[in-house]
Structure 1
Amino acid sequence: MITKCPVCDSENIEIKKDFRTLIVPLAEPVQQEISVCHCNDCMSDILLDSESKKVVQSRILERAKESVPTLLKKVNECGYSDSRLERALGLAPHTINRWKQGTQVSAAAIALSRFVSILPELTLVAEAGFDESYARAAILKKTVDKIKAVDSSVRSFYLNTDVFKAAGIVAFNNAASNEKAELSSFAQPALMEV
């Protein structure tokens, strides 16, 4: 056990137990227990030890696995059934159901659940055979539709010429008069090959 401050060699120290919050994407955070040496003379806080990385990583993985049913339920609420997801993504029948029950949940299942819960329209892309042009257009259209549903002042535009295709959204300061147009900071017009 430590008896002196590692910074100033003072014996006027206290060992404090504390917790650190570790973020797990799209899941509940995990608490990690840590020990800190606090020096009352130089006011240093030195991290001494904490729970083993294996224990913490195991809890992070458990939280991620626990989040899968909630993520998949969110996809179902967007109109995509389990069987439709399985067909589109080439998964074996009942795979989604097993994941929802907490069995056979791999790192790939966690990642796929996260992606599809954030962008359920990826299912449309899979159903279209992962055609890149279709994927870009479908995701852009769905994203614009989502933004327009939240903010009625948003207007979308699509430009299709022989030279290039462009799409984006514009938000107006005064939606009634549309006098001053201003590009939205969260989704500026994007030039892209579609």
Structure 2
Amino acid sequence: MAEVGEPAAEHMTFTVTKTSEGYVQPAEMTPSGSLTLDWIRRYPTHRRLVDSLHIYKHGQNPAEVICEALAQALVPYYPIAGRIVQMEGCEPRIECTGEGVWFVAAFANYSLADVNYLERPIMLEQNDILPYTELETSPANTLMMIQVTKFTCGGFLIGVRFNHASADGLGLAQVISAIGDLIF
């Protein structure tokens, strides 16, 4: 039960405001070229974005810090800054273009406790906590998108959308770990 003068979480209006968005490119020049997808990753069913949420109880300027670390991590993990392309009559491949990873910084008008640290049932819309783009790049061709949402409690959420054709869950974990290593 909420205290007098405090709204119950289930009656709150949860608002997430995107404060900035755009591509984060590698911090240094990276090799160009094409990488062939293995046979299983060529299937259209594997060319989809997989969602992942990572919750942290505190962090100073998380969007800024993660954005900078991401740019550094994209140097050794440069294929992620590219796109999946498929010319007519050819197999799909990763084109190492250095275009970057779509990155969104956002602010939520509530605390993580207000939404029960995103335990089920999740009280937030997927569009609020995961990155989406209205750009000409198809999500099926994008390799990674990240949204960092800061909450009023000082905690933050990293919402990741990763193209399964470029790597599996272990590969995603390796990239996220590399970003984290560059922060500390």
> One fold, TM greater than 0.5?
no
Higher strand share goes to which structure?
2
Which protein has the larger Cα radius of gyration, Structure 1 or Structure 2? 1
TM-score (norm 1): 0.21
TM-score (norm 2): 0.21
